[in-house]
Structure 1
Amino acid sequence: MASQLKNLSDFSHTTVPDGAAYKIAIAVAEWNAEVTGSLYKGALETLLKHGVKEENIISLAVPGSFELTGAAEILLKKHADLDAVICLGCVIQGETRHFDFICDAIGNGITQVGIKYSKPVIFGVLTTNDLQQALDRSGGKHGNKGDEAAFTAIKMAHFLHTA
């Protein structure tokens, strides 16, 4: 498996635009807080590192990953000046099909909100088989998907304004 071999959050091959002109929201799930807290930390640090002003970052917590779609919708409705919304969460496979339904709903919901508002809504939700895989992807040996979500938000905000 290729992911065993490398840090998946390597963006050394691409340029990230200056984020100083952008207003970005982060919605983060409280469920699996150890993981989502690390995703949030990575996203926030990456936004700041790439010029997004602290006063232009809105951060809100929601109970779980399923609520991220509703949160993105509310944020875009209340804050028309947002350039992107980052949705951070973690769903870990259990013994039932609940995982499949939740992950499908979140992915489709985030996509639909982005289409509805013609704004980038970034899928930063880990869907892993176990807690260790989630930890490996939230600041562990495979990088931090929160970093990746922030890079994507900046790049897509830039795309929104230059396309």
Structure 2
Amino acid sequence: MSTGNGPTLIPDGRGLHIVVVAAQWHTDIMDALIAGAVRTLDSSGATYSLVRVPGTFELPVAAQRIATNGAHVDGIVTLGTVIRGGTPHFEYVCQAAALGLTNVSTSTGVPVGFGVLTCDDVEQAAARASTDPHGDNKGVEAAHAVLETIVALRAFTS
């Protein structure tokens, strides 16, 4: 888990179904983020499904469909990696993903964990997708955030 100041206990996820939606670009980094998210969900006792989409830009439409398709889903973990380049592409993709995923969570009420890396280079992304169980892995953090949000909102669910 991250060396930040966030919670470290994994919430009880028994009885929850989480969908992990992950981009395909930057395979090694994405595989590490997915492994971190899956490790966290396994530790919580939640069940999960994995859906792969081409890139980070496609995460919001996939999350929207999953959240509204009528199948039972308690939360969605979204994972992607965008590396800054020499064009404005980085800003457009990052903004579209952030706003799109925020809209999915607020319009559907389904918690969405934001595990999208927005980095200047591949080295920064790799550092945020550590395969060390005690290292910094944003897949772990996104899965943890979804579980925590579900637990926090239970008191307000009828």
Superposed pair shares fold, TM > 0.5: yes
Kindly report which structure 2 residues correspond to 1:1-163, keeping only aligned pairs within 5 A, or say none.
8-9=2-3, 13-52=7-46, 56-139=47-130, 143-163=136-156
What CA deviation, in whole Å up to 9, does each residue of 1:69-112 have, x standing for no partner?
00101111224421110100000000011100110010000000
Gap change, CA 1:24 and 1:13, over 3 Å in 2: closer
Sequence identity (%)? 35
**Does the CA-based 8 Å contact 1:9-1:148 persist in structure 2?**
no
CA, structure 1 residues 12+118, in 2 after alignment: closer, same or farther (shift >3 Å)? closer
Task: Show structure 1 runs of 5+ residues with no match.
Answer: 1-6
Q: Deviations over 1:115-161 (max 9, x none)?
A: 11011111100000000000000016851000001111111111222
> How large is the Cα RMSD of the aligned pairs?
1.9
CA distance in 2 between counterparts of 1:8 and 1:15 reads 12
Name the counterpart of 1:3. none
What TM-score comes out, normalization by structure 2 length? Answer: 0.90
Question: For this pair of structures, how many residues does the alignment match?
Answer: 154
CA–CA distance in structure 2, aligned partners of residues 121 and 29 of structure 1 = 15
- Judging changes above 3 Å, is the alpha-carbon distance between structure 1 residues 150 and 49 closer, same or farther for their aligned structure 2 residues? same
Q: What is the alpha-carbon distance in structure 1 between the residues aligned to residue 60 and residue 149 of structure 2?
A: 18
Cα separation, 2, equivalents of 1:14 and 1:39: 17
Q: Give 1:62's aligned amino acid.
A: V
Structure 2, unmatched stretches of 5+, are none
